[in-house]
Amino acid sequence: MFNKIFSVFLISITAISMAQAQNRPDMFDWKPLSEAMELAEQNDKKVLVYANAVWCTYCKKMEKEVFTQEAVQQKTKEHFYSVWMDIESDEKLTFRDQEMTQIQFSRAMRITGTPTFIFFDSEGEIIAGQPGFIPEEMYLQILEFVGSDAYLDQSFGEFAGVEAEN
């Protein structure tokens, strides 16, 4: 009896692990955070952390409607190393020479909702964070704004041409 229960338990754990791995869309070359940070420093690129949760409806919408677009994939690859972050995962990562879980990292970054996007420069400093579902055109503008370093000289409103006149 114990063997049957144990077998069912192992099969269940394996199925859950496989389902979680399959939740990651494969259109990006997802890197562990420490590797992405190292590559960004070596190649003068940035890091884009996509913080999500398995249950998040807007994450799934982002993955199906925005991440699947070729322009988004190209712009992301051009400027960023992408990191998949599950805000409820006990999986370990290393950030600034400290080992922690993805849950702990999410708390340290003050992520309170999903999806959330965090942009880091090549030196590992936070550029900006953006929570919520972002439609494709706006997401492309954000990727270009951060990726091209336009954020250093102007506001996003100026960049996007929507700055209110005074």
**Average pLDDT, integer, range 83-105:** 96
Any domain includes 26:
no
Range of the domain at 105: 31-160
Between 33 and 16, name the one with better pLDDT.
33
Q: What is the pLDDT of residue 1?
A: 62
Residue 12 has pLDDT above 90, yes or no: no
Any domain includes 10:
no
Q: What is the pLDDT of residue 164?
A: 58
Cβ contacts of residue 83 below 8 Å, gap of 6+?
Answer: 30, 31, 32, 33, 36, 47, 48, 49, 50
Between 166 and 19, name the one with better pLDDT.
166
Any domain includes 9:
no
Question: Whose structure tokens read 């269940």?
Answer: 12
Instruction: Read off the pTM.
Output: 0.83
Cβ contacts of residue 142 below 8 Å, gap of 6+?
Answer: 117, 130, 134, 156
Residue 129: CATH number of its domain: 3.40.30.10
Burial of residue 62, with CB atoms counted within 10 A of its CB: 0-12 exposed, 13-18 middle, 19 or more buried = buried
Any domain includes 4:
no
Q: Pairing between strand 92-95 and 46-52?
A: unpaired
Place 4 in a pLDDT band, splitting at 50, 70 and 90.
low
Between 1 and 47, name the one with better pLDDT.
47
DSSP state of 63: H
Any domain includes 23:
no
Any domain includes 100:
yes
**Average pLDDT, integer, range 80-108:** 96
Q: What is the number of domains present in the chain?
A: 1
| Partners of 5 in beta bridges | none
Any domain includes 17:
no
